[in-house]
Amino acid sequence: AVLCDNGFDVSIWTRNALQAEEMNTTHTNSRYLPDCPLPSSLKATAVMSDALDGAELVLFTSPSSAMREVAKQAAPSLPANALVVHATKGFESETLNRMTTVLSEELGRSEDSMVVLSGPSHAEEVARRQPTTVVVASVDQSCAEQAQDAFINAYFRVYTNPDVIGVEVAGAIKNIIALGAGLSDGLGFGDNAKAALLTRGLAEISRLGTAMGANTLTFAGLAGVGDLVVTSTSKHSRNWRAGSMLAEGLELEEVLSRMGMVVEGVRTTMAARKLAERYEVEMPIAEQLYQVLFEGCAPKTAVGLLMGRGRTHESEQVAQDWGLHQS
Ligand SMILES: NC(=O)C1=CN([C@@H]2O[C@H](COP(=O)(O)OP(=O)(O)OC[C@H]3O[C@@H](n4cnc5c(N)ncnc54)[C@H](O)[C@@H]3O)[C@@H](O)[C@H]2O)C=CC1
Ligand SMILES: O=C(CO)COP(=O)(O)O
């Protein structure tokens, strides 16, 4: 919708021909974005090569679990000079790769030319043209600027950032904390608990991201604290909603089937546990979410374990998490 508003000729690909027909005829997507009219100039197709024909910019937005499969299908028809951008928030479960790595492998392009678009941007609000700010990150500044030029407009403000690792890690891990925020709210805990979860959650994001090579400052920006806040507090957030349903005592499978849309934080919790081990960082909130999601731990027990952790000294921890040296 943003690219249509900016005057581009936009084709959207879906594997579902009926959905393509609905988008072309009634200009709606009732299954995934109800009550949001789509631009009448948007063309939908279930034929990948038609969607990619002559494309100058290709935006990949599948769930992380489908990124490799979708990129594989796109590769043969991808125009050589098309700018590749993605807006997916997660890791590949099997390899723990970030999405730019998956795209680079499948598309045979340099990872440095890939762009990631991230930040606090619920689709429901963007489609209604409500003010939204995002980041486009690429190692190649000219690629980031091309994406910035394409997307920026009066209601969609786009910042560039060279820190692809930081932007991708922040976008993925905040979903775990948002699940935790939904659980906390669902359990009836208050604003104090949520503030603690967000603050200590940001410390975990920063700790892992920095160990993976990110610039710590990215976590203070839109892709970091910005997206963490929106996903942990918005009524639109699927991760938050999934967390609040878990607090009601529903089984994970039941929650996912009721959601009917991707809840990236679930797979990301598994990935984060492995990444924490690989990079030797502590992620106590992610670990407790793992226990609740996959090991049958009662949410209240998990909260008790978090609250009862060994005593520590905040400024030393903050300095470490944010890569600062204390004098
Ligand atoms: N919805 C939002 O507001 C935002 C979502 N994101 C990210 O975008 C990604 C996608 O999220 P949503 O579109 O919201 O999810 P969704 O669950 O609403 O829609 C996913 C779409 O992908 C399709 N899909 C699933 N598996 C597929 C496969 N194997 N091959 C082809 N198509 C497949 C589904 O049919 C559906 O059309 C996620 O990583 C999410 O974190 C990022 C920013 C905002
Ligand atoms: O990343 C998002 C908003 O920036 C979307 O979050 P949910 O997947 O939890 O809806």
Give yes or no: residues 265 and 283 share one domain.
Answer: yes
In terms of residue numbers, what domain contains 121? 2-162
Give yes or no: residues 145 and 226 share one domain.
Answer: no
> Does 291 fall in a domain?
yes
ipTM of predicted assembly, 2 dp:
0.99
Give yes or no: residues 150 and 250 share one domain.
Answer: no
> Does 136 fall in a domain?
yes
pLDDT 10s digits, 36-57: 999 999 999 999 999 999 999 9
Give yes or no: residues 136 and 269 share one domain.
Answer: no
Give yes or no: residues 128 and 18 share one domain.
Answer: yes
Atom 10 of ligand 2, residue of closest alpha carbon:
237
Atom 6 of ligand 2, residue of closest alpha carbon:
237
Last residue of a domain, one of 139, 162, 185: 162
261 Cα nearest atom in ligand 1: 17
- Residue written as token pair 């903050």: 318
For ligand 2, is residue 238 a contact (CB within 6 Å)? yes
Give yes or no: residues 94 and 212 share one domain.
Answer: no
Mutational test site, ligand 1, from 62, 85, 126, max ligand atoms within 8 Å of CB: 62
Residue type, 105: E
pLDDT 10s digits, 184-241: 999 999 999 999 999 999 999 999 999 999 999 999 999 999 999 999 999 999 999 9
For ligand 1, is residue 184 a contact (CB within 6 Å)? no
Q: If you measure from the C-alpha of residue 289 to the centroid of ligand 1, how many angstroms do you get, rounded to a whole number?
A: 22
Q: Which residues contact 120 (CB under 8 A, 6 or more apart)?
A: 132, 133, 134, 222, 226, 227, 229, 230, 231
85: phi then psi, degrees, rounded to nearest 5: -125, 145
Give yes or no: residues 157 and 206 share one domain.
Answer: no
Give yes or no: residues 13 and 126 share one domain.
Answer: yes
Domain of 285, CATH number, reads: 1.10.1040.10
Quick one: pLDDT band at residue 316, thresholds 50, 70, 90?
A: confident
Ligand nearest to the CA of 48: 1
Give yes or no: residues 11 and 139 share one domain.
Answer: yes
Active site (annotated) includes residue 300: no
Domain of 55, CATH number, reads: 3.40.50.720
For ligand 1, is residue 262 a contact (CB within 6 Å)? yes
> Does 117 fall in a domain?
yes
Q: Which residues are annotated as a binding site for NAD(+)?
A: 123, 238
Give yes or no: residues 124 and 30 share one domain.
Answer: yes
User: Mean of the per-residue pLDDT values for the chain?
Assistant: 96
Give yes or no: residues 182 and 79 share one domain.
Answer: no
